[in-house]
Structure 1
Amino acid sequence: MQNAAHLLIVDDDERIRGLLHKFLMRNGFLVTAARDAAHARRLLEGLEFNLIVLDVMMPGEDGLTLTRDLRKRMTTPILLLTARGETRDRIEGLEAGADDYLPKPFEPKELLLRINAILRRMPTPQETRPKFMQLGPLRYEMERGELWVGEDPVRLTATESALMRIFAARANEVVSRADLVEELGRDRSPASNSDEPGGDRAVDVQITRLRRKIEPDPREPRYLQTVRGLGYMLAPE
């Protein structure tokens, strides 16, 4: 259940909390339960949830008030549960910021279907990747695999381009010679040029050539560094 969605159930009815907790756990979710809005607020301060199942009619702060307040500071989807099924009540709940509205009594299977439908609509978090990296006056365009100095392109051989792609994908990480040989080997084709490396020594030669194009002083590399005994590391600014 390492990647299971974490749900927060907020309901003042202990029996309903217990039933929902067991049912949703059996269906593969991580579940935390809160007895009222104040309890839910304390949990939300320390935990992250993928979805909140929230009862509207609770003593003290009700579900609509809590929904309005949560919407001011978080985008976690909210499914409201209520004994009132009138159209105006559903509209009020949606206007408060809820993603869906389920009248009581309900079939647990319908609740499960609605929860899964909401979670499917949520965008999948994606790791943001920079579009370029800076190497002093040089700029490496990540998506296009191009190296520029100002408005002028820097010509790279096929192997130099492959090395830049490998190092850019693992910036600030040590890449061993063995990994470089393996990665470069994958890029070979029957039409490969003679500059393609064939082993550790050939990789060292290609690194030296690449440094001449990206380093202010290739004899004292600032960006494409040698990590003694381990390999090489690209350290952009």
Structure 2
Amino acid sequence: MENRQAICLVDDDLEILELLSGYLKQHGFVVSCAENGAALMDILRHSQPDLIVLDVMMPGQDGFVVCREVRKQWQIPIIFLSALGESMDRIVGLELGADDYIVKPFEPRELLARIRSVLRRKGNVPAPGRFREKGWLSFSGWRLDRAARCLQSPWGVTVNLSGAEYRLLMVFLRNPQTVLSRDTLMDLTQGRSTTAFDRSIDVQVSRLRNRLRHKDGEETGLIKTVRGDGYIWTADVRQESA
């Protein structure tokens, strides 16, 4: 019997829950619904879905708060739904550890495509033959603990990474000395392309650069801008032996 993937929808709008639930069930998913964050946490204590679709604008705890609570215990992929379409709102959502962000109104088939994209990325990480899923990666004196998703600097400081920072760093580490366009980085980290005015990937690169500064605050040069083309990771990367 086919093992169907499970989606949990979280929204205080019952009509949206009914519409999306029926649509996703028609496309082969097992769907559970929650009207708020508390109901979602009750579901997660008993079983964990393959992905959560989480509304941002909910009474009581909003989606951003709920996302923080989920991330304290689980690494289930999360797609935000929101009427807030400003780029900063998307950046906040992604920095909290969400895997994608869809602005309302939207077509159900767009949500379906985003869900499938996120689930494909979840199933395909890490790239076959490149790095083991756990263990340490090292570069220029830095060490990345993949299990804990944190960096150790050459001078012994531990740097905890957000979900967005970790995903972006892993894309660079899998593709050293390779120019990666903004579209490529957006697709590999978020499963979608950039728009003409979407600079969220530049903001994420800037934040990752700040994580990788020297002890004196100077930039390390590990991520360099290639004018008109994107970014390149300059350092060699190696997998440490267990």
User: TM-score if structure 1 supplies the norm length?
Assistant: 0.51
The answer for the alignment partner of 1:80 in structure 2 is 80
Q: Which amino acid aligns with 1:82?
A: S
Q: How many residues align?
A: 126
Please show how residues 87-98 of structure 1 align to structure 2 within 5 Å.
87-98=87-98
Asked whether 1:60 is paired with 2:60, we answer yes
The answer for the alignment partner of 2:13 in structure 1 is 13
1:43 & 1:72 partners in 2: Cα distance?
Answer: 16
1:6 & 1:69 partners in 2: Cα distance?
Answer: 20
Q: Which amino acid aligns with 1:14?
A: L
1:74 & 1:43 partners in 2: Cα distance?
Answer: 13
1:48 & 1:57 partners in 2: Cα distance?
Answer: 23
2:59 & 2:85 partners in 1: Cα distance?
Answer: 19
| Higher-RCO chain (CA-CA 8 Å, sequence separation at least 6) | 2
| Structure 1, unaligned runs of 5 or more | 126-237
Please show how residues 179-190 of structure 1 align to structure 2 within 5 Å.
none
Q: Which amino acid aligns with 2:112?
A: L
Asked whether 1:100 is paired with 2:118, we answer no
The answer for the alignment partner of 1:32 in structure 2 is 32
CA apart distance, 1:14 = 0.3
Q: Which amino acid aligns with 2:79?
A: L
CA apart distance, 1:69 = 1.6
CA apart distance, 1:2 = 4.0
4+ residue segments displaced more than 2 Å:
none
1:19 & 1:98 partners in 2: Cα distance?
Answer: 23
Asked whether 1:69 is paired with 2:69, we answer yes
Q: Which amino acid aligns with 1:65?
A: V
User: TM-score if structure 2 supplies the norm length?
Assistant: 0.50
2:12 & 2:46 partners in 1: Cα distance?
Answer: 21
2:35 & 2:74 partners in 1: Cα distance?
Answer: 21
CA apart distance, 1:124 = 6.4
Q: Deviations over 1:1-60 (max 9, x none)?
A: 741110000000000000000000001100000011111110110012000000000011
Q: Which amino acid aligns with 1:33?
A: C
Q: Which amino acid aligns with 2:50?
A: N
1:74 & 1:47 partners in 2: Cα distance?
Answer: 11
1:96 & 1:8 partners in 2: Cα distance?
Answer: 19
Partner of 1:16, secondary structure, is helix
1:58 & 1:86 partners in 2: Cα distance?
Answer: 18
1:120 & 1:51 partners in 2: Cα distance?
Answer: 11
| Structure 2, unaligned runs of 5 or more | 126-242
Q: Which amino acid aligns with 2:70?
A: L
Q: Which amino acid aligns with 2:31?
A: V
User: Could you say what the CA RMSD is over the residues aligned between the two structures, in angstroms?
Assistant: 1.7
The answer for the alignment partner of 2:47 in structure 1 is 47
